[in-house]
Amino acid sequence: MNSTLIPYGRHQVGADDIEAVVRVLNSSWLTTGPKVAEFENAVAAYTGAKYAVAVSSGTAALHCAAYALGIEPGDEVIVPALTFAATANCVAALGGTPVVVDVHPETLLIDVAEIQKHVTARTKAIIAVDYAGQPCNYDMLHEVADRYGLHILADACHALGACFNGVRTGQLADLTVFSFHPVKHITTGEGGMVVTNHARYAEMMRRFRNHGITADHHQRSQENTWHYEVADIGFNYRITDIQCALGISQLGKLDGWLARRREIAGYYADAFGTAGAIRPLKVSQGVDHAYHLYVVRLDTEQLSVSRAEVFQALRESGIGANVHYPPLNLQPYYQNRFGAYRGQCPAAEAAYEQLLSLPIYPSLTAQDIERVTATLDSILSDI
Ligand SMILES: *Cc1c(COP(=O)(O)O)cnc(C)c1O
């Protein structure tokens, strides 16, 4: 048995990334300096969005975006069942109610037909999650949103560089959120960004990331004045120049890394086929998948083993599979506070019993992939 652990995801930091960071450490701006705007401009250019606001995490970015949409007590916001907690928590943090909606059984993306059943007079927005790196069907989402007058916030933390019908994430929703946590496509250690084509949203988010203050430190020092105004609630959600220098350097490698992720996904798809006990998720027509995750479903009935047994056996062989995610409606907080319940999202709950995220990251080698598929084969034939 090979004892080196293959994790499900990992970052890649090169000598050039480190040099870029060190240059900032030797400069006079560690935070709120020129690298922040440079990183924002680079991500705006990459995604094709007009404005970008960089913050300290993807979670902070979601909070900023939900604030820009004016979410307040009494508002309902539709979120998919299969996502990370931060997608729903940004709504709860503003006093709104996250309404958990089921996913489509084949793609595990929010089920647009289900959305309509949950729209009420209080619904203000839909948060679309591009699960695993596959963009949602934004044509259908916009149709529903337009019909009911809803905003669309894209949680594209899995989908930097993905496209729907040739249009990149960042241009598919009113606001789009990215994360630069080390497990995501590019990293700043911790970090996040919101992109939008709306100047007013961008302005609100710049204020929100800095205590609700209308002029930033840089502007104040130029104007030589101590006066500032707190126009509304806000926090310190700023990102440092140190992090942004890393982000700029990483962004230059994104396209190559995306190509490698797609190549790895191709190897897995070939290895598993379409009729076996390990079933890759459906990829819709017109989608350029970003493969943040490589998610498969285990046909647990055909196999007569549980996902937990397969997961454990993989771990014992040094393969760090993972599970994304326990459905939100099964989490105590959303049950206790918002009345979510088991049985609310049958497709997500059934999928959850079978999900496995297999290792995928740019430096994963052909031998690593071979080890993952061979180990899975031997586990499934042993049990
Ligand atoms: C990673 C992630 C977040 C949160 O991002 P952080 O940078 O870790 O705060 C939010 N939503 C989804 C879907 C994510 O994958």
User: pLDDT by residue (tens digit) across 17-75?
Assistant: 999 999 999 999 999 999 999 999 999 999 999 999 999 999 999 999 999 999 999 99
The atom number, within ligand 1, closest to the CA of 129 reads 13
Q: Domain with 200 in it: what CATH number?
A: 3.40.640.10
Residues 219 and 313 in one domain: no
We report the CATH number of the domain holding residue 319 as 3.90.1150.10
- What is d(CA 78, CA 296) in angstroms, rounded to the nearest whole number? 25
Does 213 fall in a domain? yes
Residue 169 CB less than 6 A away from ligand 1: no
Distance 75 CA to ligand 1 centre (A): 22
What is the residue range of 101's domain?
A: 15-251
State the pairing for strand pair 278-280/151-155. unpaired
Task: Find out whether the beta carbon of 357 lies less than 6 Å from any atom of ligand 1.
Answer: no
Which DSSP letter does residue 211 get?
T
Number of domains comprising the chain: 2
Is residue 285 assigned to a domain?
A: yes
Is 144 a domain residue?
yes
Nearest to 198 by CA among 174, 216, 222, 217: 174
Residue type, 275: A
Residues 318 and 284 in one domain: yes
Q: Which atom of ligand 1 is nearest to the CA of 191?
A: 7
Q: Give the C-alpha separation, 195 to 175, whole Å.
A: 6
Query: 184 and 53 in one domain?
Result: yes
Q: CB of 179 closer than 6 A to ligand 1? A: yes
Q: Is residue 158 lining ligand 1, measured as CB closer than 6 Å?
A: yes
pLDDT computed for residue 276 by the predictor: 86
Measure the CA–CA gap between 65 and 175, rounded to whole angstroms: 7
| DSSP state for residue 136 in the 8-state scheme | P
Kindly state whether residues 62 and 195 are assigned to the same domain.
Answer: yes
The tokens of 104 are what? 């489509």
- One domain for residues 290 and 227: no
Residue 1 lies in a domain: no
Q: How far, rounded to the nearest angstrom, does the alpha carbon of residue 40 sit from its chain's CA centroid?
A: 18
Residue finishing a domain among 198, 231, 251 = 251
> Same structural domain for residues 235 and 378?
no
From the CA of 190, give the closest atom in ligand 1: 7
Q: Is 9 in the pocket of ligand 1 (CB under 6 A)?
A: no
222 CA to centre of ligand 1 in angstroms: 35
pLDDT tens across 258-282, in order? 999 999 999 999 999 877 899 999 9
Q: Is 87 in the pocket of ligand 1 (CB under 6 A)?
A: yes
Q: Rounded to an integer, what distance in angstroms lies between the CA atom of residue 358 and that of residue 372?
A: 8
Length of the chain: 383
Same domain, 164 and 313: no
The tokens describing 181, both together, are: 């946590």
Last residue of a domain, one of 220, 251, 282: 251
pTM over 0.75? The answer is yes
pLDDT for position 3: 60
Give, using CA atoms, the residue closest to atom 10 of ligand 1.
86
Q: Does residue 6 lie in a domain region?
A: no
According to DSSP, residue 172 is labeled S
Q: Which atom of ligand 1 is nearest to the CA of 184?
A: 1
**223 domain residue, yes or no:** yes
> Ligand 1 atom closest to Cα of 292?
15
In a domain, 347, yes or no: yes
Ligand 1 geometric centre to CA of 179 (Å): 6
CB of 124 closer than 6 angstroms to any ligand 1 atom: no
User: How far does residue 273's CA lie from ligand 1's centre (Å)?
Assistant: 30
Count CB atoms within 10 A of the CB of residue 32. Answer: 18
Q: Is the C-beta atom of 325 inside 6 A of ligand 1?
A: no
Query: Which of 251, 280, 315 corresponds to the end of one domain?
Result: 251
- Residue nearest ligand 1's atom 14 by CA: 157
Question: What is the 86 CA–ligand 1 centroid distance (Å)?
Answer: 6
- Catalytic positions: 184
Residues 87 and 207 both lie in one domain: yes
> Half-sphere exposure of residue 337, counting CA atoms within 13 Å on the CB side?
16
Are 275 and 230 members of one domain?
no
Q: Is residue 243 part of a domain?
A: yes
- Same-domain status, 247 and 258: no
Give yes or no: residues 100 and 73 share one domain.
yes
Same domain, 61 and 193: yes
pLDDT the model gives residue 219 = 65
The C-alpha atoms of residue 201 and residue 196 are separated, in whole angstroms, by 7
Residues 6+ apart with CB under 8 A from 236: 56, 209, 210, 211
- Give per-10-residue mean pLDDT for the chain (383 aa): 82 98 98 97 98 98 98 98 98 98 98 97 98 98 98 98 98 98 98 98 98 76 80 97 98 98 97 89 97 95 87 96 97 98 98 97 97 93 70
Closest CA to ligand 1's atom 6: 58
Neighbours of 152 (CB within 10 A): 22
